[in-house]
Amino acid sequence: MKIAVIKETYPEETRVALIPANVSKLIKAGLNVTIQAGAGELAGFDDVLYTDAGAEIAPGQAETLKDASAVLTLHGYGSALDTLLPALAPGQTLIAMMDPLAGPQVAQQLAQAEINGIALELVPRITRAQSMDVLSSNATIAGYKAALLGATHSHQLFPMMMTAAGTLKPARVFIMGVGVAGLQACATAKRLGAVVEAYDIRPAAREQILSVGARPVELNIEAENTETKGGYAKEQSDDFIARQQAAMADVLAQQDVVITTAAIPGRKAPVLITETQLQAMKPGAVIVDLAAETGGNCALTQAGETVVHHGVTILGPKNFAATVPNHASQMFGTNLTNLLLLMAQERGLNWDFEDEIIRDTTVSYQGEVVNARLRELLGLA
């Protein structure tokens, strides 16, 4: 069975879907791997490293895709998919990020073209699938980079410093939402020496906050049913959010850097910092909004931009993983490799829909939208 890795076409994308170490593993498992020439270049992986690992190098996209059973890419939706789709042959399988909960139409688009689609965002949050979870990988990178970005823009140095010019107080950093990204942001800000506090509506987060050396902030307001079956934070009522915002204003006014990470898959991000709260913050404070791409946790965030309101700098970074191409490709490629090793058989992929991982991630199969959540979103259920 041939696996094809194309060179990314998405703007400013620097990653590659498999690294040479992944190729070795797949070849050992009996698969063939073809890499489009130059696909790994921006991530630090020359063609020769892929050849050494046992891959074929194909000069262009067409040769790479020819006779492939599975095609791997980072971005399998939007303009990147529009470009790729005409080059794919019916019966081929596309494995990629597809943002399917925000844009379920991707499943119809693939089904219509008779492409089998596997959307990596839909990997279930179960122990067996942890090694395939690209969202966790991306969140790890985003949390780390968010702390660096906060430190870079802060008007303070993060660590306490005892210098000949007096003692500098450590910066105060506050993390809102402690999923994978939030915890990594806590850990990184702590490494840099800041005083780190964190908040999450899920009571279970308390232990996790403590485990990375940060202090959990208590608002003394009650919330119920804060966690979904999958371990994500659940959307809250307007009333709860209002009480939360009031109690939060005092906390925010103390901070030098605030990192927000509250995202709900497929939905607009909740506003955690209103303009009123912003006005009470210290002049010179910095907000890093990791939910910028889905509307922002701060009311004044602009995705991909740096804006200043009421003396507070608000950063809305996009596609953080692409800024760390080497390690990000390693993580993405390893996630993909683990999924391929689950599904790959001698003659093709195993479409065993009894397996929760295969059932949940498959969005289209043999010309049909097959994923239950997407069928519901599309009104096909």
The residue to which tokens 């790959």 are assigned: 344
Is residue 345 within 8 A of residue 93, CB to CB? The reply is no
Q: How far is the CB of 174 from a copy of itself (least distance, A)?
A: 17
- Does 277 qualify as catalytic in the annotation? no
Compute the distance between CA of residue 348 and CA of residue 91 in angstroms, rounded to an integer.
11
The span of 190-198, 225-233, 235-243, 358-366 binding a copy of itself (CB under 8 A) equals: 190-198
Sequence-ordered strand ranges (E) for 166-320? 166-168, 172-176, 195-199, 215-216, 257-260, 286-289, 306-309, 312-315
The answer to whether the Cα torsion of 336, 138, 369, 8 is positive or negative is negative
Sole binder of a copy of itself in the list 7, 75, 145, 172 (CB under 8 A): 145
- Does 375 qualify as catalytic in the annotation? no
Compute the distance between CA of residue 329 and CA of residue 19 in angstroms, rounded to an integer.
7
Q: Could you say whether residue 214 binds a copy of itself (CB under 8 A)?
A: no
- Does 125 qualify as catalytic in the annotation? yes
Q: Could you say whether residue 166 binds a copy of itself (CB under 8 A)?
A: yes
Residue 5 or 110: the one with the smaller Cβ distance to a copy of itself is 5
Residue 14 or 92: the one with the smaller Cβ distance to a copy of itself is 14
Q: Could you say whether residue 319 binds a copy of itself (CB under 8 A)?
A: no
What are the backbone dihedrals phi and psi of residue 161, each rounded to the nearest 5 degrees, phi first?
-130, 130
| 257-286 positions binding a copy of itself, by CB under 8 A | 282-284
Q: Could you say whether residue 119 binds a copy of itself (CB under 8 A)?
A: no
Helix (H) or strand (E) run with residue 153 in it: helix 134-153
Residue 188 or 260: the one with the smaller Cβ distance to a copy of itself is 188
Contacts of 309 (CB under 8 A, 6+ apart): 275, 278, 300
- Does 130 qualify as catalytic in the annotation? yes
Q: Is 197 helix (H, G, I), strand (E, B) or coil?
A: strand
Sole binder of a copy of itself in the list 248, 277, 325, 364 (CB under 8 A): 325
Residue 26 or 68: the one with the smaller Cβ distance to a copy of itself is 26
Contacts of 270 (CB under 8 A, 6+ apart): 235, 236, 241, 262, 264, 297
**Strands 368-369, 362-365: pairing kind:** antiparallel
Contact string 11-30 vs a copy of itself (x = CB under 8 A): ---x----------------
| 54-83 positions binding a copy of itself, by CB under 8 A | none
Residue 104 or 170: the one with the smaller Cβ distance to a copy of itself is 170
- Does 366 qualify as catalytic in the annotation? no
Q: Could you say whether residue 225 binds a copy of itself (CB under 8 A)?
A: no
According to DSSP, residue 287 is labeled: E
**Of 143, 117, 74, whose CA–CA distance to 325 is shortest?**
74
How many CA atoms does the CB half-sphere of 367 hold within 13 Å?
Answer: 1
**What is the binding site for a copy of itself (CB under 8 A)?**
14, 41-44, 46, 130-131, 133, 136-137, 140-141, 144-145, 148-149, 151-152, 154-157, 159, 161, 163-166, 168, 188, 191-193, 282-284, 323-327, 330-332, 334-335
